A = this chain, B = another copy of it.
Amino acid sequence: MARSRDKPFAKATETVRIEDVAKLAGVAPITVSRALQNPGKVRESTRLKVAEAVKKTGYVANPFASNLRSGSSNIISFFVSDLRNPHFSNAMQGSADALEGSAYKLMMSQIGYSEEVEAEALNSVLPMRPAALVFTGLVQSTATRARLRDQNIPVMEMWDFTPDPIDMLVGFSNYEGGRMMGQHFGKCGYKHIAYVGRSQGRGAQRLQGFQEALLNTGASVERIFPMEGGRSLADGKKALGDLLEQFPDVDAVFFGTDTLAVGAIFECRTRGINLPEDLAIAGFGDLEVSGQLSTPLTTIHVASYEMGYEAGKILRNRLEGRDGEVTNATKLFPVTLMARITA
């Protein structure tokens, strides 16, 4: 039964509904639905009739109606801590590119860096029955992990590695990155080595790999300067000053992030400290600027855009039912030592 079009209902006359298309094509609404969603279940000639009617009317399905009825949506919810971190915005852009042209829409939710916000964000997103969830990071709270495992919804974690992902994972090993840098420092023969950066989470893993590799070469990390909040180049500059003051003997520093390391390099240049003769500096992450400096930074390369793209591709295969044999995809991206000039 058609809604009467002469009633002054909100913009009713402008909205093309499936029924309008059906009438024009001379079929039932459900046939239009099938022709659009499952073309295989409809005779080719019917599909063409429908396609023409769709074109003529400019019909686009009302996503709320389909979602309400089918109980599932085409929304992929992206949980990000901070888009100002280029690694995360690169990853998100990568996923967006991989999903380009698909039926899926990207929704962004903030999780900051707290478990509570994470849980709240999830609560507000789940009622939308998203087609998938993407986390730029591992899901922190074990309660949330358990909850997500129960729900039957595809989950992509990124950016870290764990043997026990909720579902899919595209990540890299922070431990391995740290280890490579430790090996490199060992080979270079530095004697008074410092670490500056986070002592929690990913930072802890980088540090652990770094320390273990150094021990194997007979060296060690003499001083650790924990810095939980350092996210700016200015923080890196300041960190270098503090370091030199508190540890004048230092001959090599491993910074937990490139941002800190690059800031430190600028500070060195201001102070007339030569790299790597006077001091060796290394970072982690390989920002664009790191490789372009006149004294390019030695660091660990992390392919953020590519990881985002890969995550989007895997998700897309899974959602579009082309996963073939792969179901519980875990992809470990290799981490690369970029031994450039500074260390």
Contact = CB atoms under 8 A, between A and B. Distances in A.
A244 interface: no
A233 B127 contact: no
Contacts of A52: none
A36 interface: no
Contacts of A146: none
A234 B293 CA distance: 10
A84 B124 contact: no
B289 A262 contact: yes
Given A86-B89, A89-B86, A96-B108, A61 B127 contact: yes
A49 interface: no
Contact of A60 (B78, B89, B93, B124): B124
Contacts of A305: 84
A121 B213 CA distance: 50
A191 to B, nearest CB: 27
A266 B237 contact: no
Nearest to A61: B127
A90 B84 contact: yes
A334 interface: no
B89 A84 contact: yes
A288 interface: yes
A232 B288 contact: yes
A233 B83 contact: no
Given A68-B65, A127-B60, A292-B266, A106 B105 contact: no
Nearest to A62: B127
A226 interface: no
A100 B110 contact: yes
Contacts of A30: none
A2 interface: no
Contact of A108 (B106, B110, B126, B129): B106
A119 interface: no
Nearest to A289: B289
A318 to B, nearest CB: 19
Nearest to A108: B106
Interface in A66-94: 67-68, 71, 73, 75, 78, 82-84, 86, 89-90, 92-93
13 contacts: A10-B71, A60-B126, A60-B127, A61-B127, A64-B128, A78-B108, A96-B108, A105-B125, A105-B128, A107-B107, A233-B292, A263-B292, A289-B289
